[in-house]
Structure 1
Amino acid sequence: MGVKGLNQLIKEFSPGAYKEFQLKNLFGRKVAIDALMCLYQFLIAVRQSDGAQLTSEDGETTSHLLGMFYRTIRLVENGIKPVYVFDGKPPVLKGGELAKRSARREDAQSSLDKVKEEGTIEDVMKYEKRLVSVSRDQNDEAKKLLQLMGIPLVEAPCEAEAQCAELAKSGKVFGAASEDMDTLCYKPPYFLRHLTFAEARKMPIDEIAYEQAIEGLDMDHNTFIDLCILLGCDYCDTIKGVGPKTALKLIKEHGSLEKIVEYIESQKDLKYKIPVDWPYKEARELFLNPEVTPGKDVTIRWQEPDVEGLVEYMVKQKGFSEDRIRSGAEKLKKALKGGVQGRLDGFFTVVAKPKRTAAKDDKKTPAKKRRR
């Protein structure tokens, strides 16, 4: 789900933190990518002409594999070196959000059953997409595919977004790519959205610079975390009646969630309603001290793809066209073999010019002394 309304607040109050660009502008960059988010997108977007997901002869869904294969090749051809990060165990606090997602899927299934009888094909597709989720088997299949492609993957101990941010903070990669705005709560230097599907949807990639974002909001990191919790995150509900603008106003006026709670509880009216046993302190701790593998302990290596292994897996086991898989593998092999050239901004260092003494002072200073 991410953080509700945060994207718009940053655009409004920290416009300098935002950049929009095309895939080619990331040439020469290493990027950590939230794998689960990609797989979810591929399962929704990669479809047959009738709107159904791609499947093998055995009836297994293969949309996620085709999406991962070709989108990854596209990234590498553009000079980008991707690192896919997979989720570990979810935090206990996230259980409530997962339960809500399950309930929403049940509602979508009920609606789907109704529209199948009396609705249009478009109605059926709309509710089918709401039922999409990534299974453990699909996760494992994607990992196997990436290993055969020679693309590095990292298994996070907990949240993938936090691990992506850690890799960026430690200098292993340039930035963290996900669709969830809560990635910014883990302080990646640069946060990227729409990376894997921007070209397909003819939309730009968004880049948010973390330091500029909180500077524009006039906050330190702790206050920013409190704002994100107040906006609504995966770890706890927000205060009833508090929208994005109100959340920002309350944070500016009171400075912390403790003081906001104290203020609301002191009021006689029920304009705002704090959830019972609101676990905002626990949520804050998860953002401030996430469970991650330190970047220095993570080894990232891109290798030559196993072409015959890809043919065995994608063609013989999953039913894809051998010509297309071999062609894609050769493109990947060529792009990885050529390596990613360094960006121009990596060759130059900006050095501040020494301040020059005023001309009139130079004239008063003896030449011998000036040389010193």
Structure 2
Amino acid sequence: MGIKGLKQVIADRAPLALRSVEMKHLVGRKVAIDASTSLYQFLVAVRNEGQNLTTADGSTTSHLIGLLYRTVNMVETGLKPLYVFDGKPPTMKGGELAKRKEKRDLAQESLKVAEEEGNADEMLKQMKRLTKVTPEINEQAKRLLTLMGIPHTTAPCEAEAECAALAKAGKVWAAASQDMDTLLFGAPVLLRNLTAPAARKLPIEEIRLDEVLKGLDFSLDQLIDMGILLGCDYCDSIRGVGPKSGYEYIREHKTIEETIKVDKVAKGVPEDWPFEGARGLFTQADVSDCSADFVWEKPNTEGLVQFLVHEMEFNEQRVRSAAAKLEKAVGKGQQVRIDSFFKVTAKRATPMKPAATAATTKDAAKRKGSAAASTAKKARK
């Protein structure tokens, strides 16, 4: 779910922290990618007439198609992806998971009604709500990545927390996830929409944590407290507190403890609200020691053909073409970015010269003509 309204607060209060980038600008970058959110995007987007793509026996292949081609696109560009899978969810997330199950049950009921009514649009809407990344889907994705030569790892707990930890440790440059709470885990750079299917044409969003804190005039602890106020996966939001008021409360009162003393806020605090536990999950996240090294290797072409063509019924020519692109791209991301040689400093913008008017342009042309005539006259002499 992420943090409700956090992007809105950043856009309003720290606009310099957020910018759109193109894939080509990420050449040479190592990026830890939240695998679950990526696979979910593929399952939702890669469809035919509303249905997931499948083999003849009904095995879903949408996630494999999306993962293969989007990853090839990234590697061709020179980006080096590292996929991170979820481990065991924290106990405090149980409430959120229960809510998601309840929503899926409602979606299942709504789907039955839509099918009876023949409402195609509503059927598609409810099928997307029923989409879930299963353990089998995760295992298939890991197998595919291994055959592609793309490294992957499984987090002790939350994938976005592990992505953030890897970025903080310098193992990768950025964390890629749709969940804004990746920033609360301390990711120095968050990339959103990196694995969004190309057909959706969503811009890649780069959000820098240092600029977020600077723009909001917050410490990371205060950003975490604001995120908890707005509502996260670990506890409910406070009734009546939205993005604008949540920011203002933390800006004025500094902490959740002081904010909930305000009468207007206290009235909306849920019973047994576990904000301290939620805070601990962000500040002391269950992550690895980030000591592992990751290697990007050449693809196993025949292994890909066996898995994707003979088992998952992909087109062999397309699979071999994708493998050839991967093999050609190996080493492309090894090129060193020029910014690694220099210390980046702020540069004062050069004022733009005022645009020339018609009169000044005419005068300049006249002076230029006179000078040219004078030069020609001297030459003739």
When normalised by structure 2's length, the TM-score is 0.88
Conservation of the 8 A alpha-carbon contact between 1:241 and 1:271: no
2:260 aligned counterpart, secondary structure: helix
Whole-Å separation in 1 of the counterparts to 2:2 and 2:344: 37
Whole-Å separation in 1 of the counterparts to 2:38 and 2:22: 18
Structure 2 equivalent of residue 222 of structure 1: 221
Structure 1 equivalent of residue 204 of structure 2: 205
Cα deviation for residue 263 of structure 1 reads: 2.6
Structure 1 equivalent of residue 294 of structure 2: 300
1:282 has 2:281 as partner: no
Whole-Å separation in 2 of the counterparts to 1:328 and 1:171: 30
Structure 2 equivalent of residue 320 of structure 1: 314
Unaligned runs of 5+ in 2: 347-381
Structure 2 equivalent of residue 45 of structure 1: 45
Amino acid in structure 1 at the alignment position of 2:172: V
Cα deviation for residue 350 of structure 1 reads: 5.4
Whole-Å separation in 1 of the counterparts to 2:246 and 2:344: 39
- Cα deviation, 1:149-178, whole Å, max 9, x if unaligned, reads 000001100000010011111111110000
Relative to structure 1, is the Cα distance of residues 252 and 319 closer, same or farther in structure 2, using a 3 angstrom cutoff? same
Structure 1 equivalent of residue 17 of structure 2: 17
Whole-Å separation in 2 of the counterparts to 1:214 and 1:351: 19
Conservation of the 8 A alpha-carbon contact between 2:75 and 2:333: no
How many aligned residue pairs are there?
346
1:176 aligned counterpart, secondary structure: strand
1:326 aligned counterpart, secondary structure: helix
Amino acid in structure 2 at the alignment position of 1:283: A
1:1-372 equivalences in 2 (<5 Å): 1-48=1-48, 50-197=49-196, 199-264=198-263, 272-295=267-290, 297-349=291-343
Relative to structure 1, is the Cα distance of residues 103 and 262 closer, same or farther in structure 2, using a 3 angstrom cutoff? same
Cα deviation for residue 66 of structure 1 reads: 0.8
Cα deviation for residue 88 of structure 1 reads: 0.3
- Cα deviation, 1:191-233, whole Å, max 9, x if unaligned, reads 0000012633222111011011011111111111100000100
Unaligned runs of 5+ in 1: 353-372
Amino acid in structure 2 at the alignment position of 1:61: T
Whole-Å separation in 2 of the counterparts to 1:203 and 1:41: 12
Amino acid in structure 1 at the alignment position of 2:269: I
- Cα deviation, 1:258-317, whole Å, max 9, x if unaligned, reads 1122233xx6xx88311111000000000001010122x122111111101111111111
Structure 1 equivalent of residue 368 of structure 2: none
Identity %: 51
- Cα deviation, 1:24-45, whole Å, max 9, x if unaligned, reads 1111111000000010000000
Cα deviation for residue 332 of structure 1 reads: 0.7
Amino acid in structure 2 at the alignment position of 1:199: A
2:334 aligned counterpart, secondary structure: coil
RMSD: 1.5
Cα deviation for residue 337 of structure 1 reads: 4.3
Cα deviation for residue 348 of structure 1 reads: 2.9
When normalised by structure 1's length, the TM-score is 0.90
Whole-Å separation in 2 of the counterparts to 1:271 and 1:30: 44
